[in-house]
Amino acid sequence: MSFMTDRYFQMLENHKVYDLVFNRQSLTYFMERHVICVWLYHSLIKSLHNELVNDLKSINSCEQKECLRLITEVILDEVVEDQGDGQIQSHLELYINAMEDIGANIGPVFCFFELIDKEKDVYRALRCARLPEEVQRYCRSILPFLSAPAYQKAAVLFYEGEPYIPDHFLMNIESMLPKVEVNALLDYFESHIEGLKRPGFSASGRLVEILCMQSGSYQSEAERTAEKAMKARLDLWNSISYSLEDYSEKLGVQGMPSLTLLPGGKNLEGRQKSKG
């Protein structure tokens, strides 16, 4: 890690957002904004896989073959994971299932997916799907990396895998049981975060190492790219935190969720009521 990537990593690992998610309403708010991160991670995986496969020749170097094995491993873990019960699901699907379990609104993100599949214009889909503004900003920050060189894409992929999410966030989520059905969400995080799956090893981290070996300048360029991606995630975490702090403060003072928490007259409690 460079000084800045290490600094951003620590800021993300110790961010206050994890302590502000403590009940159904705050978890719903968080997940409705975090789901785009899951989609972007999958998009980065597919983009990097396509690039590495397209670069294959009749005879390939050891490094090329290792890269292909590593990205295939990530695909198997994240995009087509065997659930052990005969089902094969992506982690994006697991996350959406977890959203449904807690009553989160999946309408906007499904509208986004449908528009992408139909029109292939991601930026227009962002506008038309009416995703929250902070989500649109984050998505616009990360999308350009899909067309970046493989070594930069791999660096973003590593950090988009969220290795900085702390154990105590999962404990906070688990503490909501049995009032909130969060088992599917816990399963998602435990399957998704590479440090939890295989301590001491990261397939995407190894990809960065191999791809950066090709040129002396690649390592510093990859680090600068990672810094931009982490800064964008920090901005998203900050935006979510501002709203959740307001909610938490009003909950403590008034003993009830805020009815004016979100821009445009939206609110956490109102969204939950509208679903029931």
Task: Return the CATH number at 53.
Answer: 1.20.910.10
Per-residue pLDDT reduced to its tens digit, 41-80: 999 999 999 999 998 889 999 999 999 999 999 999 899 9
Per-residue pLDDT reduced to its tens digit, 73-125: 999 989 998 888 888 999 999 999 999 999 999 999 999 999 999 877 899 99
Q: Which of 1-5, 111-115, 221-225 has the lowest mean pLDDT?
A: 1-5
In angstroms, the CA 91 to CA 38 distance is 8
Assess whether pLDDT exceeds 70 at residue 256: no
Domain containing 257: what range?
Answer: 3-275
Per-residue pLDDT reduced to its tens digit, 185-215: 999 998 887 555 555 578 899 999 999 998 8
Average pLDDT on 258-264 reads 38
Report pLDDT for 202.
Answer: 85
Q: Which residues contact 110 (CB under 8 A, 6 or more apart)?
A: none
Assess whether pLDDT exceeds 80 at residue 8: yes
Report pLDDT for 265.
Answer: 35
Average pLDDT on 232-255 reads 83
Report pLDDT for 200.
Answer: 56
Query: pLDDT averaged over the chain?
Result: 87
Question: Into how many domains does the chain fold?
Answer: 1
Q: What is the pTM of this model?
A: 0.87
